[in-house]
Amino acid sequence: MKGDPEDRKGVVKLLDHFKHVGPNGQHVSMVFEYLGDSLLSLIKYTCYRGLPLDIVRELCVPILVGLDYLHRELSIIHTDLKPENILLLSSIDPSNDPRKSEEPPLLSPVIDKPNLLLSSSSRKDTVNGAISRTQKIKLKRKAKRAANNCVSSVIAREKELDSANADQGNVNSGQTGVTNTEIILAGESAAQHEAEKKARHSAKIQGFKSMDLRCKIIDLGNACWIHKQFTT
């Protein structure tokens, strides 16, 4: 913050830091400014169909400014520059920006059931940053269920795609019983689907005109000094 009082260097600001004592020892916690979506989210937003060249140029300016600041003024090499490590100053969808919501952008508590009472020792552990063995087990179960649900949804989606591809292959192969009318209707449906995709993409591209494309470089966890490289 001291080196960038006007907030123009294109690098995330460290607001504060403190030490946290937990079950695995003492950790240094760093507090950074709240930013928006990553450039990877922006790429996904356009369904991986690419960004207009003028948008790319606009995004590159703060990135190059940030790299110049790190290299020339701070003698730092980032070493891990990628879309995930470049964040927009705001959210792609303003309605999803918690800063514009009445609810503060805070994490949900570990215990979210009002009828679940904690013992005095459990409350003490939670206050000190630790969680009980029972809470750890519950968290692991939740994570496992979430992972299983994710895998199941991916498998179901793959089956749908395989089925759709098989149906399309049957139409194209001209199997017995498939009429010319059905082939024409299938072609029209595919053309309509592609037209709808193009329309959605065009609408998203138009949305860039009202989007704040300023961004900052984050995640210096793998950074090193110019004069003291850790790896080649």
Measured CA angle at 33 (ends 89, 38), to 5 deg: 40
Residue 126 has pLDDT above 50, yes or no: no
Q: Retrieve residue 190's tokens.
A: 């595919």
| Band of pLDDT at residue 95, cut at 50, 70 and 90 | confident
Residue scoring higher pLDDT (24 or 1):
24
Q: CATH for 1-118+212-232? A: 1.10.510.10
State residue 220's pLDDT score. 93
Mean pLDDT computed over every residue of the chain: 78
* Average pLDDT estimate for 226-230: 81
Who has greater pLDDT, 122 or 47? 47
Task: Kindly report, residue by residue over 167-204, the tens digit of the pLDDT.
Answer: 666 555 555 555 666 666 667 677 777 777 776 767 77
Alpha-helical runs (H) found in the chain: 39-45, 53-68, 120-127, 133-172, 180-207
Q: Is the full-model pTM beyond 0.85?
A: no
- Reported as a single tens digit per residue, the pLDDT across 127-143 is 444 566 777 787 777 77
Q: Residue ranges of the domains in the chain? A: 1-118+212-232
pLDDT the model gives residue 72: 95
Across 41-50, 93-102, 168-177, 195-204, the highest mean pLDDT is recorded for: 41-50
d(CA 89, CA 36): 5
Instruction: Write the pLDDT tens digit of every residue in 52-73.
Output: 899 999 999 999 999 999 999 9
Residue 201 confidence (pLDDT)? 66
214 by Cβ neighbours in 10 Å (0-12 / 13-18 / 19+) ranks as middle
Better-scored residue on pLDDT, 200 or 87: 87
The residue type found at 169 is: G
pLDDT tens for residues 147-171?
777 666 667 777 777 777 666 665 5
What pLDDT shows up at residue 214?
Answer: 93
